[in-house]
Amino acid sequence: MAEKKEKKYVAASSESKRNAEGTVTRKVKEAQPVGNASGLRIGAVVLWLVALAFEVCALFVFLGKIDLRFMPQIAQLIAFLVLDLIAVVVGAQLWKKANHIDPVSEQNQLKFWLWNNMGLIALAICFFPFIILVLTNKDADKKTKTIATVAAVICLLIGGVASYDWNPVSSEMKEAAVDTLGSETVYWTTFGKVYHTHDDCSHLNQSETLTYGTVEEAIAANRVRLCKTCASRDGITGVATDN
């Protein structure tokens, strides 16, 4: 059996700290705000508008209405498409972060999916019109059309993977976790997808660094499910666990 690694503990916020004996103490008992969801959503919308502007610039370059003479046309096209991609993806990350702080109900599954994947909708708006206009343009050089279309499709695929919320959380899921665990300290790893109620959980044996905080902080950090082993150990039911 692999030897357990000595752990380094990192607080998710200033509201938690570890004392000299290594146990966790909390300055306050009530769960604290873990971020400004409204601010994150505004930031996401602003970035998506910027992405839309980059799409327009790419289209103008393709049509010859913008010409940065220090760069070849193809390089200009790719540059604007990459900037478009970056703005869309960063906006999607902010939107997903906001949804983990302030999730919506999953009672309406269509609304739940659409709200959690607004990044995909923004991605479609910021790339599909460009692709369609390029493909339907009969006057452009064939080589330029091909490169522009391939570059846009590649950006679209990369953006789709990055923008899709693979780990959505609903208001019901979050409320159940907060009601069950309250201000109890939970732990999660740097790259893990779940949170733990025990820092000596067997799944953490090889983890050198553990972040700790409230379950709200764990969910905001995209750890939306409780470790199944910890749930079984504590006899916890009614909380979303890993499969």
pLDDT of residue 17: 56
pLDDT of residue 33: 47
Confidence of residue 26 (pLDDT cuts 50, 70, 90): very low
pLDDT of residue 3: 57
Span 198-230, pLDDT tens digits: 999 999 988 888 999 999 999 988 898 999 999
Cα separations (Å) of 82 from 77, 78, 79, 146, 155?
A: 9, 6, 5, 17, 7
Bridge partners, 16 (sequence order): 26
- Selected residue with higher pLDDT from 81 and 1: 81
Span 106-147, pLDDT tens digits: 999 999 999 999 999 999 999 999 999 999 998 888 999 999
How far apart are the C-alpha atoms of 148 and 131, rounded to whole Å?
Answer: 8
What mean pLDDT is reported for the chain? 87
Confidence of residue 44 (pLDDT cuts 50, 70, 90): very high
Q: Which of 176, 174, 134 is nearest to 155 (CA)?
A: 134
Find the mean pLDDT for residues 36-65. Answer: 95
Span 148-179, pLDDT tens digits: 999 999 999 999 999 999 989 999 999 999 99
Q: Which two tokens stand for residue 159?
A: 């953006």
Q: Could you tell me what percent of the chain has a pLDDT over 90?
A: 66
Under a CB-based contact definition with an 8 Å cutoff, are residues 199 and 187 in contact? yes
Q: Which of 79, 94, 100 is nearest to 48 (CA)?
A: 94
pTM: predicted TM-score of the whole model, two decimal places = 0.81
Q: Which two tokens stand for residue 235?
A: 């006899």
pLDDT of residue 28: 34
How far apart are the C-alpha atoms of 131 and 156, rounded to whole Å?
Answer: 10
Map 179-241 to HEC letters.
HHHCCCCEEEECCCCEEECCCCCHHHCCCCEEEEECHHHHHHCCCCEECHHHHHHHCCCCCCE
Q: Which of 83, 43, 33 is nearest to 61 (CA)?
A: 83
